[in-house]
Structures are given as C-alpha cells and as structure tokens.
Structure 1
Amino acid sequence: MATFMPPIPRVFFCFIEPALCLFGAAQPLLNPAAITALLPAHLAGRPDPTAAPTPLETLQVLMTSVMMYGWALLTLAIMFLSDGKTTRSRRLVHAYIAISASMDFPHWGAFAYALGAEGMKQWRTFPAEMWMQVLVPLLTFAVKVGYLAGVFGEDQVVAEGEDADRKRK
C-alpha cells in the first residue's frame, strides 16, 4: 500500500477512489439503457422520447464502463504495489494522481459537449445520476489536487532501519 501517504489520501486512493470507479463501471454494465436514457431524447438525437438507446449509444456506454473498470484496477495496482521504499514508487504515485486529476477536465468537457448549451441550461431538472457525473469528479479532483499540494500533510519518510524492523515483525 502507498504507506508514505498521509492517512486521508491513503484511504481515499486505496479504497474510496477504486470503489467509486467500480460502482461507475458496474452500473452501465448491468443496465446500459439506464445511462443513455438520462439524456433527453432530443439531445440524444432520438426522435421518439420512448425509443430505446441506439446500438452505438449502448456500445459507447459499455466501452466507457470497461475503461472505468480498468482505471479502478490500475488504481488498486499502483496504490497497493507502491510501498514507499523508493523514490521511484513515490514518483509513480504522484504522476498517477496528477494524470488522474487531469482526466477530470475531459470528463466535464464531454458532459457539457453532450448536453450542449440547451441541456446545460436545464441543470435544475438534472436527475441525481447526472449530478453525480459532475459532483463526484469535482470531489475527487479536490482530493487529488489537495494531496499533491500537501493540504493533507506531507508524505512520510520511512527510514531504512524502521522498514527493516517492520519486515522482521
């Protein structure tokens, strides 16, 4: 585990972030229509509001789900395999978090692009799932930037003697 991290970011990146990604990946896998149905029919390009999502919409939702599942596994691998004993592991974790934070901007951009100006004006009518598309990444972005900025405290330095003692126990 990324033992060098302060407690709040360590818990967030080792458990909460992967769980959020797995939840986000499971929902469209279980019911792709639930995600595509969130878009009003006229914004999704469907002439009939009761029409089922197109095969392309379903494919895109499923591919996004696969990417989120992969991101969750990548997060788990990096966080649990980064033991903090080497500078390289620390750099890898910091690079991962910076990349993860930068990925939130295209997320919000895609959301705004898909809704367009007309859809964004209807923000008061967004269902909870659409608010989650905006607010959950905002929360995770704040934690990522906060960690990189040192808001939660500095990374801990594990002395070699302490590390050797921990291995013997």
Structure 2
Amino acid sequence: MKHLRTFVSTLLAILAAAAVPALLFGIESDAACLAFILALAWILVLGLPTFLILKGRGCVRWWSALFSGFLLAAIPIALLGWPYHPGGGMSFSAWDGHRMVDYVVNGIPTRAGWRQFLTSTFGFGALGSASALAFWLVWRLCGHREPVVPGTPPETLSLASCQGAAQTRARNA
C-alpha cells in the first residue's frame, strides 16, 4: 500500500510539474498542449531520474528542487542556443518588436545576441524552477518527508543535512 501511495503521489507531482509550462500558454490553446507534452517528456527523461537520485540521498527539499529544476532546464537550452560560431560566416538578424536587430554577425554574437541568449537561458531556467517547485509542493502535500540528521531543522538550507541524512540512513540499513 505504501508503494502505491508513493507511485500515485509521484505521478501527481509529475503531472503538476508538466502543467506549469502549459499554464503559461493558456489552458485551451494548442501551444499549451504541446508545452505539456514536451514538459512531460523533459521531466520523465531528466527530472524523474534527478528526483530519484536526490530521494536516494535524502535531499528532496524545496531548494534542491529549485536548483535542480533551473539547471535541468537552463543547461540544455544554453547548449542548444549557444550563439558563438566563429569562422562559420553565419549571420542572423531578427525583428525585436521595434526594429531589425543583428544578433550574430559573421559567426560572432553581438551584444543583442548575448542578451537574447542569456534571457532565454535564464527564462527557461526559471520555468524549470517553477515546474520543479510545483513537483515538490505536490509531492510534499501528499505527505512525503525526507529524513534529516537528528537535531537539524527539517527545512535547513544546508547541503550537509542531505549528506548527513544519507549517511545516517546508510548506517541504519
């Protein structure tokens, strides 16, 4: 029965996390459906394994969710969107809402190109953090608590508490 409860609460947390990007596009739009499907795939491929690793170490906290969600969203986007391509002779301009702006000239990003790169990387990172926090909140509201080292406040901001909890659990096993 305990395993079923854990499975159901984790499934609900995954669905909640995938719903966050969909809510940005509005519930009834086609873009929301696509955002939900892509977020769900992203969570299953990157988020769930990270959660299981953190859970195994006793480190599922709100701050670990925010941090890992940011990294899991920002790093792949940063790698895919890296604007610096020297020697390629590639140039890229786009309309920024007011005028045409050069983002890359002869493979070298302009200031606007770097600004666009950082904005999109941090934007996706923030979205990843929001999704991971939604996951953590649902998972926590389903009654899950991570063990901590005796005498340590349950929501401490110390990574040492995660390491200590894993060591205590290993000794007790």
TM-score clears 0.5: no
* Bigger fraction of residues in helix: 1
* Bigger fraction of residues in strand: 2
**Which gives a bigger RCO, structure 1 or 2 (Cα 8 Å, sep 6+)?**
1
State TM-score, norm by structure 2: 0.31
State TM-score, norm by structure 1: 0.32
